[in-house]
């Protein structure tokens, strides 16, 4: 069994990006600039956005963090998005999800200029991805592809089972794993809450990508020997024996599943760090696209 070490690979990617940014500086070029909007005080979101800002500093990007109160109206947020769309200094930006109930997430994602949508959530970018056209791939699926590629995990002709159909991970992952090329060319089954006999399906899978958010959902008896396991789940589970009072747990019963798997991502330290690294990669791509115009 080999660990797919997202922490290590994400550091490699950041080093590669930092070298490219240094080259831009040496040539007197503008460095990439990533902005993030966060609405409200959700603890997990604040931590995540803070990590993104630190990652920007680490690779030499400029970054802007815009904090808006939880009482922000949809109109106010859309106005701020319009400002960033028109700001030539900003190459890419994200709106941290989830948003407060008074704001329609779809309206917000639609308002972002597709050429600055480094999260890859705009329908135009999603459509291009589905058609195998060059575009921003959502950061988490992009990170999974990068892990599979760098560890040279065979995907061609394999049966990939995706658990969860969210627009952020499950749906794009099912499209990407079935596309031509590497990683891809696999036969994909997309499963969800209404799927019957899921154990039967997962037990036939060569590759399982789970993004449910249900701690320890995938058990050893649900997989076959030497399956490749990608765990996108990340949940805080109460644990009085832990210093923080909780532990971070994935969708996979790691202790038992790892004994049967050929490759597996740990939680934490697997897919999570890759997401931020690929957001940086998309921002660099956005900068390069502007430079080519």
- Among candidate residues 5, 14, 52, 91, the one labeled active-site is 52
Q: Contact 198/175 with Cβ under 8 angstroms?
A: no
**pLDDT of 189:** 98
| Residue 234 known to bind ligand | yes
Would you state the pLDDT for residue 276?
A: 95
pLDDT score recorded for residue 293: 67
Please report the pLDDT score of residue 291 as a whole number. Answer: 81
Does the annotation place 270 within a ligand binding site?
Answer: no
How far apart are the C-alpha atoms of 114 and 81, rounded to whole Å?
A: 12
Annotated binding residue 171: no
Which of 5, 80, 91, 96 is an active site residue? 96
pTM of the model: 0.95
Catalytic residue among 91, 117, 119, 231, which?
119
Residue 165, marked binder: yes
52 is annotated as an active-site residue: yes
Q: Closest by alpha carbon to 139, among 1, 290, 7, 271? A: 271
287's tokens: 């900068």
- Residue 219 designated active-site: no
181: left (phi over 0), alpha (psi -120 to 50) or beta: left
The pLDDT averaged over each successive group of 10 residues in the chain (293 residues) is 98 98 96 97 87 95 97 98 97 95 96 97 96 96 98 98 96 97 97 96 98 96 98 92 90 98 97 96 96 75
CB contact set of 205 (below 8 Å; sequence gap of 6+): 159, 160, 161, 189, 223, 224, 227
The H or E element spanning position 109 is helix 105-111
């Amino acid at each position: 069994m080999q660990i797919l070490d997202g922490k290590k690979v994400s550091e490699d990617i950041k080093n590669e990006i930092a070298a490219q940014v240094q080259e831009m500086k040496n040539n007197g070029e503008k460095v990439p600039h990533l902005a993030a909007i966060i609405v409200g005080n959700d603890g997990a979101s604040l931590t995540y956005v803070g990590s993104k800002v630190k990652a920007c500093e680490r690779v030499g990007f400029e970054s802007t963090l815009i904090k808006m109160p939880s009482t922000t109206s949809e109109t106010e947020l859309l106005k701020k998005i319009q400002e960033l769309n028109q700001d030539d200094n900003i190459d890419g930006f994200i709106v941290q999800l989830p948003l407060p109930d008074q704001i329609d997430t779809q309206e917000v994602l639609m308002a972002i200029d597709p050429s600055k949508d480094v999260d890859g959530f705009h329908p135009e970018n999603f459509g291009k991805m589905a058609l195998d056209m060059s575009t921003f791939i959502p950061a988490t699926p992009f990170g999974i592809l990068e892990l599979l590629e760098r560890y040279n995990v065979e995907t061609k002709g394999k049966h990939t089972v995706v658990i969860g159909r969210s627009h952020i991970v499950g749906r794009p992952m099912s499209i990407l794993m079935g596309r031509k090329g590497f990683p891809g060319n696999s036969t994909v089954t997309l499963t969800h809450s209404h799927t019957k006999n899921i154990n039967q399906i997962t037990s036939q899978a060569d590759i399982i990508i789970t993004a449910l958010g249900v701690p320890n959902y995938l058990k050893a008896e649900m997989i076959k020997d030497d399956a490749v396991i990608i765990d996108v789940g990340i949940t805080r589970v109460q644990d009085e024996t832990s210093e923080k009072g909780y532990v971070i747990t994935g969708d996979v019963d790691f202790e038992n599943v790892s004994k049967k798997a050929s490759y597996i991502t740990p939680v934490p330290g697997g897919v999570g760090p890759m997401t931020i690294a690929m957001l940086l990669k998309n921002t660099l791509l956005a900068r390069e696209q502007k430079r080519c115009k």
